[in-house]
Homo-oligomer: A and B are copies of this chain.
Amino acid sequence: MRLVVADCSARYTGRLTAMLPRAKRLLVVKADGSVLLHSDGGSYKPLNWMSPPCSLSMREPDAEAAERGVTQVWTVQHTKSDDRLEIELHDVHHESAHDLGIDPGLVKDGVEAHLQELLAAQIGLLGDGHTLVRREYMTAIGPVDILARDASGATVAIEIKRRGDIDGVEQLTRYLDLLNRDPLLAPVRGVFAAQEIKPQARVLATDRGIGCLVLDYDAMRGVDDVDSRLF
């Protein structure tokens, strides 16, 4: 990894065209040749960047650029597309290189898969008498998160989201359309389950006869005795 702090301007062409006026910034060149251009604020997203696979070439400025005070010109060309990032460096305030090696990577816990696991184990949250048919029930257009039966034996399709918004309702609607064409399953009722359900999503779901269930992650995890999973 190479770190450079320098006055620079940049120009990106590819999926869009973008221009970055001259300012002092951090440039990071990673081992795979990818480049990040960071300012001293904002978020984790760089102002400009080039994702791998790409190749970086550095050259001297031409006479006109040298006249403007440019000391180096970097061209980062994406290998698989026309995406290109051109950086003109002026004053270089810092430069260093570091051998980092490969990274063991991040270990995560607590996402949608876990919600699904917990709800499958606590299927009674849907109402008394509910039984689990199976998780990840495959259909032609993708897997239904949970398929269950209610006390009367009717099929229930459940879509689980961390944040429930309109897209999730649309997704469940497509599954329901398909499942209801199967005479062995029909009629299939839908339940939209999420830690948080957006008002517009709730309105759409209700309008389509889809039930809404707000999941309390902490409470569900509390019931599950395998609480301390990773840490």
Residues of chain B with a CB closer than 8 A to A111's CB: 16
Q: Are A17 and B110 in contact (CB under 8 A)?
A: yes
Is the CB of A93 closer than 8 A to any CB of chain B?
yes
Bound complex: CA A42 to CA B98 (Å): 16
Within 8 A of B (CB), among A97-145: 98-111, 141
Residues of chain B with a CB closer than 8 A to A94's CB: 3, 96, 98
Q: Are B103 and A26 in contact (CB under 8 A)?
A: no
Contact of A93 among B24, B46, B98, B109 (CB under 8 A): B98
Task: Considering the complex, give the chain B residue whose CB is closest to the CB of A98.
Answer: B5
Q: Quote the shortest CB–CB distance from A97 to chain B (angstroms).
A: 10
Task: Considering the complex, give the chain B residue whose CB is closest to the CB of A9.
Answer: B104
Task: Considering the complex, give the chain B residue whose CB is closest to the CB of A169.
Answer: B170
Task: Considering the complex, give the chain B residue whose CB is closest to the CB of A21.
Answer: B104
Residues of chain B with a CB closer than 8 A to A20's CB: 104-107
**Shortest Cβ-Cβ A-B pairs, 4 listed:** A39-B103, A40-B100, A16-B110, A31-B40
Bound complex: CA A110 to CA B12 (Å): 12
Bound complex: CA A23 to CA B22 (Å): 34
- Residues of A that sit less than 8 Å from B by CB: 1, 3, 5, 11, 15-26, 28, 30-32, 34, 36, 38-49, 51-52, 93-94, 96, 98-111, 141, 162, 167, 170, 200, 230-231
Q: Are B28 and A103 in contact (CB under 8 A)?
A: no
Q: Are A41 and B103 in contact (CB under 8 A)?
A: yes
Contact of A101 among B21, B40, B106, B231 (CB under 8 A): B40
Bound complex: CA A16 to CA B163 (Å): 13
Residues of chain B with a CB closer than 8 A to A105's CB: 20, 47
Residues of chain B with a CB closer than 8 A to A51's CB: 43-44
Q: Quote the shortest CB–CB distance from A122 to chain B (angstroms).
A: 20
Residues of chain B with a CB closer than 8 A to A102's CB: 39-41
Q: Quote the shortest CB–CB distance from A102 to chain B (angstroms).
A: 7
Q: Are B103 and A16 in contact (CB under 8 A)?
A: no
Q: Are A40 and B231 in contact (CB under 8 A)?
A: no
